[in-house]
């Protein structure tokens, strides 16, 4: 497949690197590719970032048949551009595609196209401490059709957004509310895919948590509401009796690439690691017994997000006294140093772009 390139004539001004937020600014160009049953994936092209014109009947608007990914490009101290485990993102995109009846993409070609787009947009990749270029590959159903079935046509696009440091003033432990009232996903469903509807399903509980003064929701399993699942856009990990414990991938949890990186590093460091069912009661009991020493989330946006408070109804855990635990801190520093090219990459996670 031949990738074509239509450059923009007028480039947008670049934002101030020290004032970047998240997800509001988009670069000059994007990648687009279309799917048609007779042509397969075709017409891959890099062109100016621009609105789509879609009929109101377009299937994605009605039935939510769409999937996405989230990863970042980093600028190293030497000015090189690199990606962190991007092949795993495209592999996961195809996993989501299979579950949502979307035709799979050629993962190697998608990575090649992304690298080409990044080379064109390299001046958009910020270099200030903790900043990066967020990458959002997305596939949506594009048939103009009302009726529930898998679409016949799709658009695959990649957009780029320069983003600021997640912790501009240093680590901020988050407050998390455990909900029994709402569930995000159930076994046999699509909780293990990055699909739009999962996030729509999380909004009401998220708003209730915000109103109660909490940053995020910790979801319990959708069947018994007894077992810990994850935090909406992060996986969750605990240190109990010195062991790193996290819910096993049971089909309703998103298999985070950061989660996997954390587990691989911890095993390499000789820590005891356990992926298993984690009862929410067990977490509160460990806290009461004094064996729970850290709670943190993992995800691309923040890498590691320490939890300072966890509440379920009348039960409360306060942990770490506003500080980051030693394991969370070591993981955060190690992963960030690899991503930003400040340290060796013994795991082969880095994909150079330029
Ligand atoms: C993206 C995401 C994560 C984290 O995955 P990473 O690959 O580590 O970024 C966790 N949970 C949900 C629901 C997600 O969408």
Domain extents for the chain?
17-163, 174-339
Buried b (16+ CB within 10 A) or exposed e, 73-99: bbbeeeeebbbbbbebbbebbbbbbee
Find the helix packing angle between 326-339 and 257-268, rounded to 10°: 110
CA atoms within 13 A on the CB side of 349: 27
Atom of ligand 1 nearest to the CA of 89: 7
The CATH fold of domain 17-163? D-amino Acid Aminotransferase; Chain A, domain 1 (3.30.470)
Query: Strands (DSSP E) along the chain, which ranges?
Result: 4-5, 29-36, 40-48, 66-68, 71-75, 81-84, 132-141, 154-163, 174-178, 216-218, 235-240, 243-247, 273-276, 292-299, 303-312, 315-318, 350-352
Q: Which atom of ligand 1 is nearest to the CA of 230?
A: 11
174-339: in CATH 3.20.10.10: yes
Query: Could you give the count of Cα atoms lying within 13 Å of 95 in the half-sphere of its Cβ?
Result: 16
Cβ 256 under 6 angstroms from ligand 1: yes
How many Å lie between the centroid of ligand 1 and the Cα of residue 215? Answer: 16
Which atom number of ligand 1 is nearest to the Cα of residue 71? 9
Q: Output the residue whose Cα is nearest ligand 1's atom 2.
A: 233
Rg of the chain over Cα atoms, rounded to whole angstroms, equals 21
Which among 335, 297, 301, 291 has a CA at the least distance from the CA of 219?
297
| Count of beta carbons in the 10 Å neighbourhood of residue 327 | 21
Say if ligand 1 is within 6 A of residue 299 CB. Answer: yes
| C-beta 300 within 6 A of ligand 1 | yes
Q: Which of 256, 261, 305 to mutate to test the pocket of ligand 1 (most atoms within 8 A of CB)?
A: 256
- The token duo for 118 is 């990044």
Please give the chain's pLDDT, 354 residues, in tens: 899 999 999 999 999 999 999 999 999 999 999 999 999 999 999 999 999 999 999 999 999 999 999 999 999 999 999 999 999 999 999 999 999 999 999 999 999 999 999 999 999 999 998 999 999 999 999 999 999 999 999 999 999 999 998 776 667 899 999 999 999 999 899 999 999 999 999 999 999 999 999 999 999 999 999 999 999 899 999 999 999 999 999 999 999 999 999 999 999 999 999 999 999 999 999 999 999 999 999 999 999 999 999 999 999 999 998 889 999 999 999 999 999 999 999 999 999 998
Identify how many contiguous H helices and E strands the chain contains and give both numbers.
Answer: 8, 17
Enter the tokens of residue 4: 């074509």
> Closest Cα partner for 303 from 234, 224, 354, 245?
234
Best of 132, 300, 303, 336 for a ligand 1 pocket test (most atoms within 8 Å of beta carbon) = 300
Q: Verify whether ligand 1 is closer than 6 Å to residue 202 (CB atom).
A: no
DSSP at 275? E
Q: Residue 115 has which token pair? A: 């690298």
d(CA 171, CA 175): 13
Report pTM: 0.97
> Which atom of ligand 1 is nearest the CA belonging to 258?
8
Distance from Cα 55 to the centre of ligand 1, integer Å: 31
Which atom of ligand 1 is the closest one to the Cα of 232?
Answer: 13
Whether 306 contacts 316, CB under 8 Å: no
3-state secondary structure of 234: strand
CA distance 148 to 65: 10
């Amino acid at each position: 497949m031949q990738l074509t390139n239509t450059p923009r004539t007028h480039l947008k001004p670049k934002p101030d690197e020290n004032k970047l937020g998240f997800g509001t600014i988009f670069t000059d160009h994007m990648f687009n590719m279309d799917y048609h049953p007779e042509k397969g994936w075709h017409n891959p092209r890099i062109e100016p970032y621009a609105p789509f014109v879609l009929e109101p009947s377009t299937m994605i608007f009605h039935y939510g048949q769409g999937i996405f990914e989230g990863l970042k490009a980093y600028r190293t101290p030497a000015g090189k551009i690199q990606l962190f485990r991007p092949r795993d993102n495209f592999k996961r995109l195809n996993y989501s595609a299979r579950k949502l009846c979307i035709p799979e993409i050629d993962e190697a070609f998608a990575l090649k196209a992304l690298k080409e787009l990044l080379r064109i947009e390299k001046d958009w990749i910020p270099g200030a401490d903790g900043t990066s270029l967020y990458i959002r590959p997305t596939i949506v159903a594009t048939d103009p059709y009302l009726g529930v079935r898998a679409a016949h046509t799709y658009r695959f696009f990649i957009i780029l957004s320069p983003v600021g440091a997640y912790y501009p003033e240093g680590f901020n432990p988050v407050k998390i509310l455990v909900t029994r009232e709402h569930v995000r996903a159930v076994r046999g469903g699509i909780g293990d895919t990055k699909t739009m509807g999962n996030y729509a399903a999380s909004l009401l509980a998220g708003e209730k948590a915000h109103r109660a003064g909490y940053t995020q929701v910790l979801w319990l399993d959708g069947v018994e509401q007894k077992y810990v699942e994850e935090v909406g856009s992060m996986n969750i990990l605990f240190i109990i009796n010195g062991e790193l414990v996290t819910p096993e991938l049971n089909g309703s949890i998103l298999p985070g690439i950061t989660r996997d990186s954390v587990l691989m590093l911890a095993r390499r460091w000789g820590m005891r690691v356990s992926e298993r069912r984690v009862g929410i009661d067990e977490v509160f009991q460990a806290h009461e017994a004094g064996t729970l020493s850290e709670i943190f989330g993992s995800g691309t946006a923040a890498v590691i997000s320490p939890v300072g408070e966890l509440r379920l109804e009348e039960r409360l855990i306060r942990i770490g006294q506003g500080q980051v635990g030693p394991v969370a801190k070591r993981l955060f520093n190690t992963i960030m140093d690899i991503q930003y090219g400040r340290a060796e990459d013994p795991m082969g996670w880095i994909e150079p772009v330029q």
